[in-house]
Every structure is written in structure tokens, then in C-alpha cells.
Chains A and B, each alone.
Chain A
Amino acid sequence: MNGRTAAVRRTLGSTTATVYAIFVVVAIAGAILAATAGSAFFTEGNLESLLTATTVLGLVAIGQTLVVLLGSLDLSVPFVVSLSSVLAAGVMLGSADNLVAGILTAVVASTLIGLVNGLLVGLVKINGFIATLGIGLIVSGYLFTNYQGSTGQASPQLVAFGGLTLGFVPVTTILMFACLAIVMVLLTRTRTGMHVFAVGGDPEVARMSGVRNAVPVIVAHALSGLFAGLAGLVVVARLGVGSPQVGSQGGYDLLSIAAVVLGGAVLAGGRGSLWGSLGGILIFATIDSILGILQVNPYLKDVVRGVIIIVAVAVYARRSVPRRPARFGGGAR
């Protein structure tokens, strides 16, 4: 068991360090560029905005990382975020008494949708891209038929919670980090967590080693739904209302996948890390922030994002050792 943990740690370590190195370089470049534009990057106000921007995407990316580790994808996240927001706001209707009911409804519905994704991918064996695209489309049809524009009203406690900060750090960001830490522990300390790496690395070998391949797939997809639901709750806390479009407006599907991949995860599965994904998000958020300060046309953001993910993945692919370690190399697989 110890050997396996060490091996997992090893795989997590290498690229993650690079990701944060890139992040530091980008942040320093940002500070210099902001200074030349007569503005500052490291102000409390800007850092608070930056952290806020990472929170929703960060929650989504936790689930996305788990799913990508298994060689699957979750394209339904933006619609789950929206669904969670309209359900929560729709149940709360601005009343303090409905807070718990609203949160529960949103979380249960989101997790259920994740579970359905997981069953389709894990048991029916539909390709993850297609299964989650299909479920996402179904949810979006439901959303756009039943809701038009902003709807409902968040409970006052939730809105207050959304506005809380410790210094310049929003409490929702701390919550996101807590989720990240918990999932980190689940991933490295529990059997299902180990199985995530095993099944993602090589499903055949995992199966022959006695792993029930469907279990980690179902759990990961359900968690992805859950975290998208939590992201939806954070959105409700920020906006005060639910919105059927907020998820697709945020582009959380492609952005979270891009962040996860930028963080060093391999789309084919088996490799990747939560901290790496977080680093990916921080890089994107920093670039957004710099371009915002410089008042660069926001469409150029997309150009920069596109170039970065292509270059990063090409570099990772070049450096990567053969995906299957030699049979007698490490004890892990």
C-alpha cells in the first residue's frame, strides 16, 4: 500500500511543479504589465477578484479532474451549474426558512445527474464525451423550457455567506480549498481513490487485478455532479437569483477541461492532479485579470487561452515518459 501511495505521489509531483512555476511567471509578468499601464496587480481588490474568479471554476474543476483521471469527460457541468442555481433559488424564494431545503434540492439533483452520467459511462459503457454531452443537452432542454431568464431568490443567509471575506480571501474560496483538500485525501487514502488511478491508467489491468471498474467511474461522475451543484450554489450566493444560462455563459465545460489539462492531466486518464488543475485555473484567472487591467479586448482572452493549452499539452506530451511504466520499474501497476 505504501509503495502505491508513493508512486501516486510521484506522478502528482512532476508536472504540478511546472504548472505553478508557469503561474508564478505569469503573475510576475502581470505585475510588470499592470505597472506599465499605470495600475497595480497585487492589490487586495484585484486579488479578491482573482480568487472569486477561481472559486466557481475551481469547484467544477475538482469534479472534472476526477473524471478526467478515469479517462472520461464531463460536458454536462455547465448545465448542472445552471440547474443547481435555478433549483436552489426556486426553492428558497428569498425566505430564510427554505435555506436548507434549497441547498438540499440543488445538491441532490446535481449529484443524481452526475450519478446518471456515471451509470451511463460505467455500466452501459457509453463514451464519456457522448454520454455527458447527451445528458447535458437533456438538462439544457429542461432548463430553457421551464425557465426564462433570472428566477427565484436566494435566502438572505446564503447571500450574506457569498459576501463574507477573511481579509481579502472570500469564504467561498476557502470552502473550495476545503473541498479540494477532502477530495485529495479521498483520492490518496481510500481504496476507491486508488482505484481511480488504477482504472484510469489501464482498465484491463485494473479489472484483472480485481478492481470493480464501474465503481470509481460512477463515484467520480457523481462527485463531478455534486461539485458542479456546489458551484451553482456559489453562483446563487453571488447573484442572489438563479439563472438557466449562467453555466453556459461561464463556459465551465471547456474551461474546466482546459484547466485540468493545463494542470498536467492526461485526457486518456491515469495521470493528473487536483493541485495541478487548481494551478491551471489560477493561470487562466491571472491572464484574465491582466488582460482586464490592460483593458485588452476580451476576445483576445480566447486567443491566449487557446495558444496556452495547445503549447502546454504539446510540451507535456513531449516530456512524458512512456505512459505504461516498465513492468518491473515501480511497484504501482
Chain B
Amino acid sequence: MTTTTRFTTERRPLLARVGRGLRTPGGAIFVLLAILLVGLFLYNPSLGDPGQFMRFLGRTAPILIVALGQYFVIVSGEIDLSMAAIIAAQVVLAGNLIGQDASRILPVVLLMALLALVVGLLNGVLTTLFRVPSFIATLGTALVVSGITFYATGGAPSGNPVDSFREIGRGGIDKVPVFGFVPYSTIVLAVLVVLALVLMRRPFGRMLLAVGDNARMTALAGASVWWLRTRAFILSAFASTIAAIVLVGYAGVSPVVGQGYQFIAITAVILGGVVLGGGRGWVLSAIAAAFALEVLFSLLDFIGVQSTWRPAVQGVIILVALGVPLLRFTRRRSQTLRSNRPNK
């Protein structure tokens, strides 16, 4: 509850947009999130404590960050399936190269940034200049990146990086007024969300939406379509990398870390009302949807639903989130169309 109102009170200029948007799929997600949060607090009152709640928000940060990255790609009309592979690669890089030597943190982080840049650029160039569909291009890079990662580690990476590096995922600032405890990961998340909001209001964001809506028109208007989309892929790769840094801090190195994140991210982005195929959707709705999904999964755990049902719940959500608006939409259209067009 506190967060939803926090978003509206802290950033005043957004107030009007939120109010107007509540009736769209992208706005309804905030209502859903509020309902789910009430449920979570009812089943686990200890989360009502601001410090506990911030910890909860902090541990969902990686998936929220991944959803943020996926948002840029989806809104530009493409899809990124390489996120989990990038996360795995970055986690292993951090674990193996930093090791127990704190002085290596900076060079290794720079190397990770370079890797993100290369993979993002590759995804973008393959998709745009080489006209490989993004589904195939990012699937291909995912296979290559994860193949190399597991080849280099023999299949089961282990060995955590030095504790000071992991602080970003594990630690936080204690005794903050109101919140009590603020994990660093929530600060990272907040900064990224603000940056994304700003970015989407700048010419780049506007053009990205335009490309997703109608690439041909945008190209004719003089914009560089390939460079816009490629930047979206680079942003996505960077989001995966930041999520990996938070994840390796939070959980440590493991072969399964980050597995399946891209599908949760895609689910979240779509649940947030972002149209697959691009051109429509608000970044904050996508984030809220990712958070709503995490709240829902925790709630299911608290209620005692078997964890094996989790994918099924995710599946139902995807279908309902996409199916219901389409049904409403086509129904409305069919009423207007039927008068002047014969059926089929």
C-alpha cells in the first residue's frame, strides 16, 4: 500500500497520468498491485514493518530490473530472450574473476559492462541490419553466451566473489527515518526507474515508442531505426548485467541463478499493458507488474499453494492479461463494424 501512494505523492507531475491511466490495462495493474499488497500484509503482518517491506522490495529488485530492460526492447517492437544467459555469464564472471580480491572489483565491473555492450550491440545489429528476427537472434546469442559460460566452468560454476562486492545485493543503510532499513538494491532500483522514466520522456524514448508503433513511418521521418532498436537491446543487456550484480550479491554464484528470468520479465511487461509488437506501454506499469507478480508468488507461498503450481499461475495470468482486453476490444469493434461490413 505504502509504495503505490508513494509513487503518486513523491513525483507530483505523474499524478495526473496515473489518475487518467487507471482505466487502461497499464493503469489497472496498480490497482491489482494494491489489492495483492493488502493480501500480502494480511497473510504476513510482519511485512507491514517498513524495514521488512523494504527488504522484500530489495530481493525482488533483480527481476524488476530485468523487466525494465525487457520493456525497452518490447516497446521498440522486438523481444530479448538472451537475458538469462547474460545474467549467468555475468554472475560467473564476477564470481571467478573478482574472487576474494577486492582490488579487482573495478576492472571486472568494467569488463562486465563491455560484455553487456558487445552482446547488446550484437543483438541489435543482427536484428536490424542483418534482418534476423529478434526471437532467433537473441536465442542464438543466448545459446552462444550460456554455452561459453558453462563450457568455461565445466557445467557447475561455484565460488562467490568477495563480500565487499556482494554488499550491494546483501547490505543496506540502517536506521533510515520512516523506512528503518533500506537495502542498496532498492536504491539501485529506484535510480534505474527514475532514469528510465526520464529516458522515456526524452526524444530517445519518444522515438523508441514511434519505432515500435510504426517503424516504416519513423524511418521515413528521418530517424535511424536500427540505432534506436540497437540502443534498446544495449539497455536490456545492461539491465541484465545490473540485475546480475545485485543477484550475485544477494544469492551468490550458482548454475541456476537467473534461470527463466526473461520469461517472467516478458510476462510482467505484458501484464503491465505493454503491447507485444511495440509502440504502446508505460515503463512504470511494467515495473509495477513485475512487482505484482513477485507479490503474488509470495502470497501463494504464504497461503500454502504448492510451489509447483507457480508456472501454471504465471500461465493463467499471461492468458487472462492478454485475452480479456482482446475479447473486449474485438467485441466493441465487431459491434461497430457489423453495421457496415458483412460478417466474414
A: residues with CB less than 8 A from B are 73, 120, 124-127, 129-131, 133-142, 144-145, 207, 212, 254, 257-258, 261, 267-268, 297, 299-307, 309-310, 313-314, 317-318
How far, in Å, is B97 (CB) from chain A's closest CB?
19
Q: Which residue of B lies closest to A79 (CB)?
A: B311
B319-A126 in contact (CB<8A): yes
Per the bound structure, the CA–CA distance linking A232 and B137 in Å amounts to: 29
A131: chain B residues at CB < 8 Å are 319, 322
Is B314 engaged at the interface, CB distance under 8 Å to the other chain?
Answer: yes
A133-B263 in contact (CB<8A): yes
B148: chain A residues at CB < 8 Å are 299, 303
20 A-B pairs with C-beta separation under 8 A: A73-B135, A120-B323, A131-B319, A133-B266, A134-B315, A134-B317, A140-B312, A141-B313, A142-B312, A145-B312, A261-B136, A299-B146, A299-B147, A302-B143, A310-B132, A313-B132, A314-B126, A314-B130, A317-B131, A318-B130
Per the bound structure, the CA–CA distance linking A136 and B267 in Å amounts to: 13
A310-B140 contact in complex given A126-B319, A133-B263, C-beta closer than 8 Å: yes
A contact patch SS? helix
B214: chain A residues at CB < 8 Å are none
How far, in Å, is B53 (CB) from chain A's closest CB?
28
The interface stretch among B36-44, B160-168, B290-298, B302-310 is B302-310
The total of interchain contacts (Cβ-Cβ below 8 angstroms) comes to 138
A138-B316 in contact (CB<8A): yes
B contact patch SS? helix
B79: chain A residues at CB < 8 Å are 129
Please provide the chain B residues from 141 to 190 with a CB less than 8 Å away from any CB of chain A in the complex.
141-144, 146-148, 150-151, 154-155
B217: chain A residues at CB < 8 Å are none
B132: chain A residues at CB < 8 Å are 310, 313-314, 317
Q: Range of interface residues on chain B?
A: 35 or more
Per the bound structure, the CA–CA distance linking A268 and B77 in Å amounts to: 13
Per the bound structure, the CA–CA distance linking A309 and B138 in Å amounts to: 11
Is B107 engaged at the interface, CB distance under 8 Å to the other chain?
Answer: no
A137-B314 in contact (CB<8A): yes
Is B327 engaged at the interface, CB distance under 8 Å to the other chain?
Answer: yes
B322: chain A residues at CB < 8 Å are 126-127, 130-131, 134
Per the bound structure, the CA–CA distance linking A120 and B320 in Å amounts to: 11
Besides A136-B315, A258-B139, A306-B147, 10 other CB < 8 A contacts? A126-B322, A129-B79, A130-B318, A137-B312, A140-B312, A141-B309, A257-B136, A257-B139, A305-B147, A310-B132
Is B25 engaged at the interface, CB distance under 8 Å to the other chain?
Answer: no
Is B326 engaged at the interface, CB distance under 8 Å to the other chain?
Answer: yes
B310: chain A residues at CB < 8 Å are 141
Per the bound structure, the CA–CA distance linking A145 and B263 in Å amounts to: 20
Per the bound structure, the CA–CA distance linking A254 and B155 in Å amounts to: 20
B131: chain A residues at CB < 8 Å are 314, 317-318
Residue in A125, A141, A301, A313 whose beta carbon sits within 8 Å of that of B312 in the complex: A141
A130: chain B residues at CB < 8 Å are 266, 270, 276, 318-319, 322
B139: chain A residues at CB < 8 Å are 254, 257-258, 306, 309
Residue in A120, A299, A306, A309 whose beta carbon sits within 8 Å of that of B319 in the complex: A120
Is B21 engaged at the interface, CB distance under 8 Å to the other chain?
Answer: no
**Most chain A CB neighbours (cut-off 10 Å) among B79, B155, B306, B318:** B318
Per the bound structure, the CA–CA distance linking A174 and B266 in Å amounts to: 39
Per the bound structure, the CA–CA distance linking A267 and B137 in Å amounts to: 12
Per the bound structure, the CA–CA distance linking A136 and B306 in Å amounts to: 18
Q: Which residue of B lies closest to A305 (CB)?
A: B143
Q: Which residue of A lies closest to B315 (CB)?
A: A137
**Most chain B CB neighbours (cut-off 10 Å) among A141, A297, A307:** A141
Per the bound structure, the CA–CA distance linking A333 and B116 in Å amounts to: 44
B147-A303 in contact (CB<8A): yes
B263: chain A residues at CB < 8 Å are 133
How far, in Å, is B87 (CB) from chain A's closest CB?
16
How far, in Å, is A21 (CB) from chain B's closest CB?
21
A144-B143 in contact (CB<8A): no
Is B330 engaged at the interface, CB distance under 8 Å to the other chain?
Answer: yes
Per the bound structure, the CA–CA distance linking A268 and B134 in Å amounts to: 11
Per the bound structure, the CA–CA distance linking A136 and B315 in Å amounts to: 7
How far, in Å, is A309 (CB) from chain B's closest CB?
5
Q: Which residue of B lies closest to A212 (CB)?
A: B344
**Most chain A CB neighbours (cut-off 10 Å) among B310, B312, B313:** B312
Per the bound structure, the CA–CA distance linking A249 and B311 in Å amounts to: 17
A309-B270 contact in complex given A126-B322, A138-B316, C-beta closer than 8 Å: no
B99: chain A residues at CB < 8 Å are none
A125-B330 in contact (CB<8A): yes
B316-A134 in contact (CB<8A): yes
B323: chain A residues at CB < 8 Å are 120, 124, 126
B151-A299 in contact (CB<8A): yes
A129-B309 contact in complex given A135-B315, A267-B135, A309-B140, C-beta closer than 8 Å: no
A302-B313 in contact (CB<8A): no
A125-B147 contact in complex given A212-B344, A314-B130, C-beta closer than 8 Å: no
Per the bound structure, the CA–CA distance linking A134 and B315 in Å amounts to: 4
